[in-house]
Amino acid sequence: MRILMVCLGNICRSPTAEAALREAADEAGIDIEVDSAGTGAWHVGNPPDERMTAAAREVGLTLDGAARQVTPEDLDDYDLVLAMDLENLRDLRSIAPTGLPDDRIRLFRSFDPEGPDEDVPDPYYGGPRGFSDVVTMARRTAGELVRRIDAGEL
């Protein structure tokens, strides 16, 4: 299965969700290809935000790679595209190829047992707590996503 995580700039939320899903899949012994991208182009080529990287490192997650912008081709290439918030979801659906099933593009937290269909708040303009909250949400949601994949629900 190929999964793409998408946020606005691809420097905070989506790289964290990518790392959390990789961790959960590795722990479960499930083969998942995961990547991340942003709907905007502001940070293309940049590494993940240092504050996000530090918060992830505190729980053993490694954020790497460089920000990139999502393309319409990505939406065809991935089995599941997970948006971090409703604005990203709308942006993704606006560039989706005609005929792409709606359930291929969803909110990431639609898999969160504690906050289904809620946004992952953007921590970019906030303090340290926002970054650690994103890590917690990402790990919890990724764990449930892997459980559902392993159970054959996806």
122 is catalytic: yes
CATH classification of the domain holding 64: 3.40.50.2300
How high is the pLDDT of residue 115? 86
What range does the domain containing 52 cover?
Answer: 2-150
How high is the pLDDT of residue 55? 98
Catalytic residue among 74, 91, 119, 122: 122
At a CB cut-off of 8 Å and minimum separation 6, what does 26 contact?
A: none
> How many domains does the structure of the chain reveal?
1
DSSP 29: T
Cα distances (angstroms) measured from residue 91 to each of 64, 69, 78, 95, 150: 25, 12, 16, 7, 29
- CB contact at 8 A, 142 and 24: yes
13 is catalytic: yes
- CB contact at 8 A, 22 and 53: no
Catalytic residue among 12, 13, 112, 140: 13
How high is the pLDDT of residue 35? 99
What does the pLDDT look like over 36-91, one tens digit per residue? 999 999 999 999 999 999 999 999 999 999 999 999 999 999 999 999 999 999 99
7 is catalytic: yes
